[in-house]
Amino acid sequence: MRYEDEIVGRDAPKTAPEKAKQERSGEKNSVMKSTLLLARDIAIALLVLIAILIFIKPTIVFEHSMEDTLYPEDYVFLARQAYTFGEVRHGDIVVFESKLIGDHGTQKSLIKRVIGKPGDVIEVKDEAVYRNGERLDELYTKDGFTPGVMAPVTVPENSYFVMGDNRQVSMDSRNSDVGFIPGDKIKGKVIYRLFPISKAGIVR
């Protein structure tokens, strides 16, 4: 019997060059797989970021008109699509494009609280705000009262009456330079404060 015939049909032992070539091929495939996985992860991250930016806009507060709810340099998130899927509610804090002109010659964006919706009658007297004849209990105001007197006004269709929480300094719908805010000028609803960290949380 010829024992060498027993290896017929079996894989012959690989030589050193063949083994090295196979190892290099395996390493190349591993690198390629890692690269593809990294590219996939980056693509997913970019898609998530784009989706976030479509729905959420980071915004910095610059003025004192919303104290003590919001302060200058507070970093908040604005829900861009809040009113695409829902309606504006009394008490919402919104950012809108006003008629005021900023330092760079562009229309100034303001942040205020919604006090009146279309059809509401708003009045200021006795250091308080009245809506449709009922005195509002506004615990969020800085000093606990609203100065001055304003005769009753009816909020027009598709518009809103807004006021800052710091009623002593706020430039808002009480002033003709701001007036009623058309619904299409509202950029979104303030939903969350990220910074300062000590005050991070849902904004109400």
Q: pTM of the full predicted structure?
A: 0.76
Average pLDDT of the residues of the chain: 86
Q: Do residue 24 and residue 81 come from a single domain? A: no
Q: Is residue 65 flagged as an active site residue?
A: yes
Q: Do residue 131 and residue 174 come from a single domain? A: yes
Strand residue runs (E) in 37-141: 56-60, 75-79, 93-101, 107-116, 121-125, 128-131, 134-135
Q: Do residue 46 and residue 106 come from a single domain? A: no
Element (H, E) at 113: strand 107-116
Closest CA to 119 of 162, 70, 155, 160: 155
Determine the average pLDDT of the residues in 48-59.
73
Judge contact between 160 and 183, C-beta under 8 A: yes
Q: Do residue 119 and residue 191 come from a single domain? A: yes
Which of 5, 39, 56 is the last residue in one of the domains?
56
pLDDT higher at 2 or 93: 93
When pLDDT is cut at 50, 70 and 90, the band that residue 6 belongs to is: very low
Q: Do residue 52 and residue 72 come from a single domain? A: no
pLDDT > 80? residue 47:
no
pLDDT-above-70 percentage for the chain: 82
Count of all residues that appear for the chain in the document: 204
Domain range holding 144?
Answer: 61-202
pLDDT > 80? residue 11:
no
Judge contact between 178 and 81, C-beta under 8 A: no
Q: Which of 112, 117, 185, 189 is catalytic?
A: 112
Q: Do residue 141 and residue 73 come from a single domain? A: yes
Q: Do residue 126 and residue 189 come from a single domain? A: yes
**In-domain check, residue 9:** no
The amino acid present at 82, given as its one-letter code, is: A
CA distance 124 to 126: 7
CA distance 89 to 38: 44
Q: Is residue 198 flagged as an active site residue?
A: no
pLDDT-above-90 percentage for the chain: 65
